[in-house]
Each structure stands twice: as C-alpha cells, then as structure tokens.
C-alpha cells in the first residue's frame, strides 16, 4: 500500500492519497504532474515536504520496478541480454541463474533469438517491452509504469498486460492516456494541475468525466 501525506513537490500538492494494493491508473491531461507523482512513488524524487511510504517505508530507487515514458531513458546497456540481466547482476545473482532467467524472460515476448541484438536497433515499442521485462525480472513488489503503453499496438499491449498480471507485483501504479485500460484498473487517480481532482473506483471517477473525452470509449458503446 502507498500512503501520501501532505506532499509538496514543485507544483504538485497532495494532502492525502492512499493507493491500495492492486492496480491503480493515474490519468490526467498533459502537464498535470502525473510523471512527477510516479517518480516520487518510485523514489526517484524526494518530496520537498510531506511523505510517501510504500508498505510503510520511504521508497528508494532500485526497489521498485520502473518504466520511463521515454523509451531511450530506460536503456543502460547496449545489448538486449545485458539490459535484461542488469537488475539481476546488481543483486549479485549467480551468472548461471542470470543467464537462465534472462532467456526465460526474453522468450515471453519472442526475443529468445534476439538477445545479442543491440538496443539501438529496436523500435520504440520493442524498447519499452524490454524495459518492462527488465523492471519485472527481479519480481518487485511494486511496479511503477509511466505511459509505456502509448508505444504499443493492440496485441503487444495485451502481451504486456499479461506479463504485468503474472508478475506477482502487489501494487502496480501506471500512468496512461488509454481510458479503456484505466477503466480495467482497480482504482483511478485523476490529476489536474498538480492536484488530485478525483480518485476512487473507475465507476466513481469516470462518472465525473462522462461529457469529456476522458471517458472510456468501451463504456460509451456497452449495451
């Protein structure tokens, strides 16, 4: 569970927000400070005042699986194999186990025979799929995903969602501009100009957006 109290960071102000276990979508217009909130939750930024705790502990970088919205900002190493292996190597896991887990992970997205390919030859969508796998490879309890889905086609998105669902992560916080995807999450947090405009179950939050394009397309067409 993620608890935010009296948070201030630049223009982001959140008096109180609780993100319970399960999957939470963070939505809002461009420039509503979604990415900043996600970086704070992942421990990549520290609050200027107030607090964020994840399962009662202040988040520190490296303990949470994180995927950046900029595909290239996820890349640390030149080869796909090294990129996937990095979090395991940083945990001093044995070479043989690293190798087997990397092969197993790569196979899940059809990259079993592309481990020696260089990252710079991948498409934007392929880079974020590798970033997602890299974030999952150490089985983190918390996953923070910043709009990686905007780089994926329909089938790749289904694949990514099945990887996330099967990851065992207890808390998933994902920013998205895909309202249908947000509607499938357990909770939705709608940010507006650096504050929380609405938060709650999808039915509660989207009942406030019915006249707007921030309303799931599939809900407009359901019988």
Interacting residues with other proteins (CB under 8 A)? 28-31, 34-35, 69-72, 121-126, 129, 147, 150-157, 177-180, 212-214, 217-218, 220-221, 223
In angstroms, the CA 58 to CA 50 distance is 11
| Rg (alpha carbons) of the chain, rounded to whole number | 18
Q: Give the shortest CB-177-to-other proteins separation in angstroms.
A: 6
The two counts, helices (H) then strands (E), for the chain are 8, 9
Given a contact cutoff of 8 angstroms between Cβ atoms, the answer to whether 25 and 77 are in contact is no
Q: Give the shortest CB-89-to-other proteins separation in angstroms.
A: 26
Q: Give the shortest CB-167-to-other proteins separation in angstroms.
A: 20
Q: Is the dihedral of CA 204, 208, 210, 214 positive or negative?
A: negative
Q: Considering the complex, state which of residue 49 and residue 153 has its C-beta at the smaller distance from other proteins.
A: 153
Q: Considering the complex, state which of residue 1 and residue 109 has its C-beta at the smaller distance from other proteins.
A: 109
Q: Give the shortest CB-127-to-other proteins separation in angstroms.
A: 10
In angstroms, the CA 115 to CA 112 distance is 6
Look at strands 22-28 and 195-200 and give their pairing.
Answer: unpaired
Q: Which residues on adjacent β-strands are paired with residue 189?
A: 26, 199
Q: Considering the complex, state which of residue 37 and residue 136 has its C-beta at the smaller distance from other proteins.
A: 37
Q: Give the shortest CB-30-to-other proteins separation in angstroms.
A: 3
Q: Give the shortest CB-57-to-other proteins separation in angstroms.
A: 28
Given a contact cutoff of 8 angstroms between Cβ atoms, the answer to whether 25 and 189 are in contact is yes
Q: Which residues on adjacent β-strands are paired with residue 14?
A: 7
For 55-193, list the strands marked E by DSSP.
65-67, 142-146, 171-175, 187-192
Q: Considering the complex, state which of residue 20 and residue 218 has its C-beta at the smaller distance from other proteins.
A: 218
Q: Considering the complex, state which of residue 54 and residue 126 has its C-beta at the smaller distance from other proteins.
A: 126
Q: Considering the complex, state which of residue 30 and residue 94 has its C-beta at the smaller distance from other proteins.
A: 30
Given a contact cutoff of 8 angstroms between Cβ atoms, the answer to whether 108 and 118 are in contact is no
């Amino acid at each position: 569970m993620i608890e935010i109290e009296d948070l201030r960071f630049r223009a982001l102000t959140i008096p109180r927000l609780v993100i319970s276990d399960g999957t939470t979508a963070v939505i809002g217009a461009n420039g509503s400070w979604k990415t900043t909130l996600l970086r704070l939750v992942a421990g990549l930024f520290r609050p200027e005042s107030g607090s964020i705790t994840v399962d009662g502990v202040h988040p520190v970088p490296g303990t949470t699986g994180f995927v950046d919205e900029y595909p290239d900002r996820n890349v640390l190493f030149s080869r796909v194999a090294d990129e996937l292996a990095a979090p395991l190597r940083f945990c001093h896991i044995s070479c043989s186990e690293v190798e087997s887990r990397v092969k197993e992970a790569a196979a899940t997205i059809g990259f079993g025979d592309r481990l020696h390919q260089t990252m710079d030859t991948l498409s934007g969508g392929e880079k974020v799929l590798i970033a997602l796998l890299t974030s999952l490879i150490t089985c983190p309890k918390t996953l923070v995903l910043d709009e990686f889905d905007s780089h994926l086609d329909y089938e790749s998105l289904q694949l990514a969602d099945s990887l996330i669902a099967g990851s065992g992560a207890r808390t998933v916080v994902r920013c998205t501009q895909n309202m249908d995807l947000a509607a499938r999450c357990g909770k939705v947090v709608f940010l507006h100009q650096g504050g929380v405009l609405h938060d709650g179950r999808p039915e509660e939050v989207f009942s406030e957006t019915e006249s707007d394009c921030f309303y799931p397309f599939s809900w407009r067409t359901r019988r």
